[in-house]
Chain A
Amino acid sequence: DAKTTQPNSMESNEEEPVHLPCNHSTISGTDYIHWYRQLPSQGPEYVIHGLTSNVNNRMASLAIAEDRKSSTLILHRATLRDAAVYYCILRSTTSGTYKYIFGTGTRLKVLA
């Protein structure tokens, strides 16, 4: 199975951009890259996903390297509510079956 690697923790100042990296060097051509975040005592919450092109939505942007071996989740202006564990996930597809491979997550701390 492909694997994702993320830093254990990162810090950011409030209202500054945050770049959360993820390495997935063994990604295969049909694997989608997903990002979710998890607040304490809650289930994960969808942030963004993509395959090859960079993606933007109201929450964040996803920058995918040209070789797809890494990606970066970008929060444009961090707020205190963005403090959470961020997971980079690969969704792999083989013969019509699916797997979700979670990384270990990056705990983001936002400083006021």
Chain B
Amino acid sequence: ETGVTQSPTHLIKTRGQQVTLRCSSQSGHNTVSWYQQALGQGPQFIFQYYREEENGRGNFPPRFSGLQFPNYSSELNVNALELDDSALYLCASSSGVNTGELFFGEGSRLTVL
């Protein structure tokens, strides 16, 4: 059973550019959530997808958007990058929306210059 994998692990972008981060959920999991973790801070919930539909969103602007595919993998897209978007982006999968246990990947570290 493979765990949650994220790509790329590190990337550098410049202000104003767009970025796409990818997440493969654990086998059998149909729910994916995304988090932003700034250096030295706790993760902040961005949104959650269940069976290809967004079913929860944190306090992030619309330039943060996502997709979930039929195989339950997911993408996080961020448009018009700002310096403050520099962070570790974490993806977590679970076997349903009501399950207690999230399985996290190791994250994608984004640096915006």
Instruction: Give the interface of A toward B (CB within 8 A).
Output: 1, 32, 34, 36, 41-46, 49, 85, 87, 96-105
Instruction: Give the interface of B toward A (CB within 8 A).
Output: 4, 33, 35, 41-45, 48, 55-59, 90, 92, 97, 100-107
Q: Is the CB of A43 within 8 A of B106?
A: yes
Q: B46 to chain A: closest CB distance in Å?
A: 10
Q: Is the CB of B56 within 8 A of A103?
A: no
Known: A32-B100, A46-B101. A104 touches B57 (CB 8 A): no
Task: Name the contact of B43 in the complex, choosing from A41, A97, A102 (C-beta under 8 A).
Answer: A102
Q: Is the CB of B41 within 8 A of A104?
A: yes
With both beta carbons as reference points, the residue of chain A lying nearest to B109 in the complex is identified as A41
When distances are taken between beta carbons in the complex, the residues of chain B under 8 Å from A97 are 55-57
Q: B55 to chain A: closest CB distance in Å?
A: 5
Task: Name the contact of B56 in the complex, choosing from A32, A44, A99 (C-beta under 8 A).
Answer: A99
